Structure 1
Amino acid sequence: NWHKGPAMLKLIEEARAEGIDVAFDRYPYIAFSTGLNSFIPLADRQGSNEEVLARLIDEKKAAEIGKYAESRFKRLGGPQNVVVVGFQLPENKKFIGKNLVECCEMTGMEPWPFVRKMLIDEKLYPDIIGFAMHEDNVRLFLSHPLGMPASDGSVYSPEGPLGETMPHPRSYGSFTRFFGKYVREDKICDLSTAVHKATALPASRLHLKERGLLVPNYAADIVVFNPETIIDLSSFVDPHKFNAGIEHVFVNGVWTIKDGAHTGELAGQVI
């Protein structure tokens, strides 16, 4: 589908010309994150975990599931494009950050038998990072006037139980990556346009009242960053990293990040 980017944008532009209010967002990475159980057909993921595990343990059923998994490997360009993360068992942590080809070399197993074993051993919980997108399309979508950067992420912490997980780096670094890699380095748009794409444009799309602009009587949600140094530090193998170049943050007018450090203030609110 990599070649379909321009055609997709043409459809969106034609819809806009017809009066349909449509826009889009895109996160600034070429990889997605999902569960290792995505290599099981949706129909076979139904029911309790115990029921799904029983299907994997059954040799005949597992062979059927394996055919689906092999087709998924092919669609992703091969097992080398699938990186496994999120293992809990100590003996499996050596596989974290390795792609399936590397895991198979380490174990002497083929991709589907390895995936099956990990799903059974880890009770279905491992995750994967799938490298299935193209940089040209990321730039194409993020540079389009209707395109907005987004994270598609969740809230994590480098401390406590959440720090034991292996999330997609998008949860930490999406916007700093957008400004650092795609705006400063790749020059997909100028800085003022980039700020608009990350603030006023999505606020207006989501109908967030009194947010997204620096004007009187609006919420003072302000990020002060250095455009020469802002960049993401989170990676697929070391995701729990905060960003560089963020100097100050005000949340609802309260100084929350000062000189790169948290002040202890918690001024956020549910919108």
Structure 2
Amino acid sequence: KMKEVVKMINDARKRGVYIVADMYPYNHASGGTIIPIAENAGWAPFHLPDDMEPFAELRKKMRAQNLTDAERKKLREQYVDELAKALSDKSKREQIRKSVLEGEPHRPSSVALAGWDSVLVTVARKNTHLIGKIFSDIAEEQKRDPFDVAADLVIDEPDLYVAMGVMSEDDMRYAMKQDWLMFSSDGDAWPIIKETDIPLIWHPRDFGGQARVLQKYVREEKVLTLENAIRKMTSLPASFLQMKDRGLLMKGYKADIAVFNPETVRVNATHSDACQYSTGTEYVIVNGKIIIEAGEYNGALNGKLLLLTDN
């Protein structure tokens, strides 16, 4: 569908509509627990059979907006127990299998659309040997059906995390070549955290979005020129967001500058270890002051909150 979408945008721009788009340079979406893979159609609710009503009722309660964290945690534990019981029952497992593989009318499941070879294990505490593997390979190794692998993992380790590869690399390359396409991380700013009681489930785009463009799509695959890629990260978004004194190296503009080596810049974040800074950027200047020297952050806080009214 990407070519259709691009055509729609180009046609709108020809009519004078100021429209752009942004993308993050990964074909896997943000992750989540294994549970949705083995109980619904692509993270969307489906109508459970009557004999699974307790399960459906718990889902309804979990969607309530006024729950405390303790209440939500308790409901989730009950929900996981109910799901494990359903998946342990041969008849109910087959009903759930059908829903997952077929989805709903007009809303096919992510697995049905992208296939089991798109489901990547990213975080596991018990089944650590599965980290970095895709479900189709796991199923082949175990000589089992992929859904049964997923269902049994829900029973064994419901907090195992996966990511869905729902984007086509060819579509991504086609889109990023468009003059109006910008790059973003679609993520958040996080500190480096190594010791924690909860799984680190962030997406590698948080730490590696821009570096991946420069490494993979400029240096390795040559999908974009270096100049074009930099424009899509700097002057194009600054212009679209009406930042009239940012995004270009010009007299009178704010000195926001990244000094990097295009031959060595590299993304180090992965789905299973997302808290990894990229390397190859030697200096970063924000509002005229250095904050990264020789690749190391110096602790300076030179940022400024930007408001639309500032310009």
Normalising by the residue count of structure 1, what TM-score does the alignment of the two structures yield?
0.82
* Matches of 1:80 and 1:187, distance apart in 2: 26
Structure 1, residues 206-232: CA drift from partner, whole Å, max 9, x if none?
A: 334643233455432211111222222
In structure 2, the CA distance between the partners of 1:163 and 1:268, relative to structure 1 (3 Å rule), is farther
Confirm or deny that 1:110 pairs with 2:148: no
Work out which of the residue numbers 194, 210, 213 in structure 1 matches 2:229: 194
Shift of 1:86: 2.0
2:189 paired residue among 143, 146, 155? 155
Within 5 Å, give how 1:45-194 maps onto structure 2.
45-48=59-62, 49-50=76-77, 52-59=79-86, 63-71=94-102, 72=109, 73-77=111-115, 79-87=116-124, 89=125, 91-104=126-139, 110-123=145-158, 125-156=159-190, 157-161=192-196, 164-194=199-229
Q: How many residues align?
A: 264
Tell me which residue corresponds to 2:53: none
Kindly provide the amino acid, as one letter, of the partner of residue 56 in structure 1. L
Q: Return the match for 2:259 from 214, 218, 224.
A: 224
CA deviation profile, 1:158-180 (whole Å, cap 9, x unmatched)? 53439951433222211111122
> Deviations for 1:74-123, whole angstroms, at most 9, x for unmatched residues?
3213x232111222x4x222222122234445666533333234335545
Once the two structures are TM-superposed, the CA of residue 257 in structure 1 deviates from its matched residue by 0.8
Mapped contact 1:86–1:127 kept (Cα < 8 A): yes
- Cα separation, partners in 2 of 1:120 and 1:203, compared to 1, 3 Å: farther
> Percent of aligned positions with the same letter in both sequences?
32
Q: Which structure 1 residue ranges, 5 or more long, are not aligned?
A: none
Query: What is the deviation of 1:259?
Result: 0.8
Question: C-alpha offsets along residues 230-251 of structure 1, whole Å, 9 cap, x if unaligned?
Answer: 2222233443332232010112
Work out which of the residue numbers 16, 19, 24 in structure 1 matches 2:21.
24
CA distance in 2, matches of 1:185, 1:95: 28
The Cα of 1:260 is off from its aligned counterpart by 0.8
Quick one: distance in 2 between partners of 1:189 and 1:175? Answer: 13
TM-score, normalised via structure 2 length: 0.73
DSSP-derived class of the 1:248 partner? strand
CA distance in structure 2 between the partners assigned to 1:108 and 1:55 by the alignment: 27
| 1:106-142 residue CA offsets vs partner (Å, 9 max, x unmatched) | 666533333234335545x433222333332222111
Does structure 2 retain, via aligned residues, the 8 Å contact 1:46–1:52?
Answer: no
Q: Secondary structure at the match of 1:31?
A: coil
CA distance in 2, matches of 1:196, 1:163: 38
Distance verdict in 2 for CA 1:141–1:18, change over 3 Å:
same
1:252–1:267 contact (8 Å) kept in structure 2: yes
Q: 2: CA distance between counterparts of 1:119 and 1:224?
A: 46
User: RMSD between aligned alpha carbons?
Assistant: 2.8
Change (3 A) 1:240 1:47: same
Q: How far apart in 2 are the matches of 1:81 and 1:179?
A: 24
1:247 corresponds to = 282
Partner secondary structure for residue 250 of structure 1: strand
SS across alignment from 1:129: strand
- Classify 1:68/1:239 alpha carbon distance in 2 versus 1 (closer, same or farther; 3 Å): same
Read off the aligned partner of 2:79 and give its amino acid letter: V
C-alpha distance in 2, partners of 1:199/1:192?
11
